[in-house]
Amino acid sequence: MNLLEHNFQASPVISRLFRFDSVEYRGEIASKVQRFDARREGEGLSLIVTTIIRKDEGLIWKSCEDLLDHAVKTAAAGMQGLFGFDLISFDLGAGIGNFNWTDFAALLVNKSRKLEVGGSVLVQYGSLFGILKKRVKEDWGKIDLHTSVEVFGKEPEQFDLCVNRLIKVSSEIQGPKILVILDLSAKPVFKFGLADQTERLHKLLEKQRNSGPDREIFDIYVIQKTGTIELFAQFNVY
């Protein structure tokens, strides 16, 4: 399913990168790391995405996750069949205080009625995007909720550990790729110029770019409320 045919261009991830010809969701390839297959200017590539929030804001995400879980369970009571719902893009800062979870539950019920077993549909509610899939036909309803938001448990100075993990996970994927870290934090984890963080990141990026003729070629984007940064360009590492 080409998600761009269903307004995924407006999602918190895609809207802050650049325009693609197509984007398809391939699922979680490691804990809290999702893969999308995309085409841009006729070329195929993989988007490897992880979504994080800093640990001192983790309770905010936990509250949202609890509300999302409640909405999904409410929706399931009005559905027939076993479903899965994967949260694939979300923005805590885009009017989340006005998010009507009852309306979201009703939207899930309506979407479910159009699905046959094995079918899936992109669900958008404000800044929330997810994939609803019908797995089994039943007289009762149940939805298995899966979210891929990670509470970054380290100090901001250790942000390089998040970047390095994404590099390692993506190394299993062949071909061109773009690595994306979507930071939901009100106070972003990455801040260029933060002494220890900057030094550690610069060393990691230099090591990656100088790893020999067989090194992987990719970009690493950090998307945060203050803007989008490509790390290699930010650190002048080419």
pLDDT digits (tens, 9 = 90+) for 185-230: 999 999 998 899 999 999 999 998 887 555 677 899 999 998 999 9
What rounded mean pLDDT belongs to the chain?
A: 93
Q: Where are the domains of the chain?
A: 3-57+150-234, 59-147
Structural fold of domain 59-147? Vcp-like ATPase; Chain A, domain 2 (3.10.330)
The secondary structure of 166-213 as a DSSP string is: HHHHHTTS-S-EEEEEEE--SS-S--TT-HHHHHHHHHHHHHHHTS-T
pTM value is 0.94
58-110 residue pLDDT tens: 999 999 999 999 999 999 999 999 999 999 998 887 556 667 889 999 999 99
Looking at residue 97, its pLDDT comes to 64
How far is residue 200 from each of residues 51, 161, 190, 235, measured CA to CA in Å? Answer: 21, 9, 12, 12
Q: What residues form DSSP beta bridges with 126? A: none
Q: What confidence tens digit (pLDDT) does each residue in 168-182 have? A: 999 989 999 999 999
- Which pLDDT score is estimated for 149? 95
In the predicted model, what is the mean pLDDT of residues 17-29? 95
